[in-house]
Amino acid sequence: MSTGALPTAGPMMPEPLRVRSLRRETADTFTVSLDVSERPGGFPFQPGQFNMLYAFGVGEVPISISGDPARPGELLHTVRTVGAVTEALRRVGRGGRMGVRGPYGRPWPLEEARGLDVVVVAGGLGLAPLRSAILHLLRHRTEYGRVSLLVGARSPEGLLYRRELARWQEDARLKVLVTVDQAGPEWKGHVGVVPALLRDVELEPSRTVALMCGPEVMMRFTVRELERQGVPDSRIHLSLERNMKCAVGFCGHCQLVPFFVCKDGPVLPYDRLRPFINPREV
Amino acid sequence: MASSLPPIEEHPFLRGLSPEQVKAIACDVREVSFPAGALLLREGDEARTLFLLRSGRVSLELNVPGQGPRQLETLKAGDILGLSWLFPPYRWHLDARAVEPVESFALDASCLRGPSPEHPVLEPALAMRLLRQLYERLERVRMQRMDLYKVGP
Ligand SMILES: Cc1cc2nc3c(=O)[nH]c(=O)nc-3n(C[C@H](O)[C@H](O)[C@H](O)COP(=O)(O)OP(=O)(O)OC[C@H]3O[C@@H](n4cnc5c(N)ncnc54)[C@H](O)[C@@H]3O)c2cc1C
Ligand code: FES
């Protein structure tokens, strides 16, 4: 039995925060900045953690924090409108309020990765929870070995943070490779699947840590390619998505056999995940 | 320039083969280069070359009537290009365009498959490597077809 203190009503109560700005990223994705100026110390979090965002009267959903962990005065989330709650969050608009509780979950293992090469692999919206990790890596660049970022999307129009991505591509401290599944003749970048990009990364398997978020099938194929190249499973970290309700390990909604994704994850190493997500859940 | 690039036996497609095997496979080989924008293969043309790409990037394209060319996959140094010479009707069924200047080895198909195209005699090592390339390409195409980034089930 757990000896830890039980969460009280406190952690379950969303805090209403005002929408400072809303920026469109792609046709169905926007980044919302929430006003935390009245909170002493702002909203500290660790890269990879998420909040529960509440659209009043509609419902609550888990959304990763996509901002810079070194700037807790700015709370950012990048949201894709896929259904009732995310659509209601978009409609809140500038000046309106949404409920927030968090931060929750196990973050990216950036301490453990210190001194090692880091390969960051993002598919589609998966770049959102990895953005905070990339900003951390850039801020503490000298503490890490080679840092590579591989990004995949359905089409050039589906790429998140396009301007920032272009800046990162110019940044000599990072190797950035971008690919899309389909493109017209105007696209001068790579066309193909994300795992194929790994061939262009100089990997020293024994000193490589991989951080990955995206559609699970993409992650499985990428894991296989990393394994083929000799990266140990314990150094491959995946961020998982499961339906959530409480986000604090109570309700079991997010259960993946032995794990509560909200509490034990969302970031988990592949050696622990392997029996449960590969090839199919039981 | 091509001269500073590794020799043919060090191309990833052939790496690890004995000098005799390389000689048997690369029995008729040329060094070729293409400026950005040039077509290496054109849909409908006779297929008689296996390219081993040495530098640059190539886009495989399919022309969709009314929409123009769609890029299907990018190939780059270390990849091979062009397999339609293996089977009748020996015609390219895609375009391949240099996205940036490309250096490549061009292996002659009639030499690769032997004197009789209908009954090709492939070096076993070549056959295995082609199979592997095809298998890996199949895996990538399967993944692309799943349209992984779309929302919902
Ligand atoms: C830890 C964690 C972090 C997350 N981070 C983000 C984030 O940063 N940004 C973000 O936009 N979303 C994120 N999500 C996913 C987000 O929580 C869901 O998209 C949201 O719950 C959908 O709620 P809805 O009511 O709008 O849509 P629903 O009505 O619940 O779903 C509408 C449709 O979308 C599909 N759908 C639902 N969830 C997903 C999903 N995760 N992926 C693909 N299709 C889905 C459903 O199958 C359904 O067809 C995260 C999820 C988890 C668990
Ligand atoms: S969401 Fe309730 S246990 Fe994880």
Query: Each residue of A90-126: pLDDT tens digit?
Result: 999 999 999 999 899 999 999 999 999 999 999 999 9
Whether residue A262 has its Cβ less than 6 Å from ligand 2: yes
- Segment A196-219 shows an average pLDDT of 92
User: Which CATH architecture fits B2-145?
Assistant: Sandwich (2.60)
* Pick from A124, A193, A200: CB nearest B143: A193
pLDDT at res. B95: 95
pLDDT at res. A10: 62
Pairing of strands A117-123, A147-153: parallel
Nearest CA in chain A to B78: A199
Give the ipTM of the model, two decimals please. 0.82
Check whether A282 has a pLDDT greater than 90: no
* Pick from A82, A184, A193: CB nearest B144: A193
Sheet order of strands, A236-239 included: A190-191, A175-180, A147-153, A117-123, A208-213, A236-239, A267-269
Query: Each residue of A118-159: pLDDT tens digit?
Result: 999 999 999 999 999 999 999 999 999 999 999 999 999 999
pLDDT at res. A6: 41
Q: How far apart are CA B81 and CA B94, in angstroms?
A: 11
- Segment B119-138 shows an average pLDDT of 86
Please list every residue in chain B whose beta carbon sits closer than 8 Å to the beta carbon of residue A61: none
- Segment A245-272 shows an average pLDDT of 89
Please list every residue in chain B whose beta carbon sits closer than 8 Å to the beta carbon of residue A192: 73-74, 140, 144
Name the fold adopted by A15-104. Elongation Factor Tu (Ef-tu); domain 3 (2.40.30)
**Residue percentage of chain A with pLDDT more than 70:** 94
B140 touches chain A (CB under 8 A): yes
Domain boundaries of chain A, sorted by first residue: 15-104, 117-281
Please list every residue in chain A whose beta carbon sits closer than 8 Å to the beta carbon of residue B147: 154, 181
- Segment B105-116 shows an average pLDDT of 85
* pTM of the predicted structure, to 2 decimals: 0.88
Query: So what CATH class is A117-281?
Result: alpha beta
Task: Choose the mutation target among A181, A202, A221 for the interface with B, i.e. most B CBs under 10 Å.
Answer: A181
Q: How far apart are CA A213 and CA A265, in angstroms?
A: 12
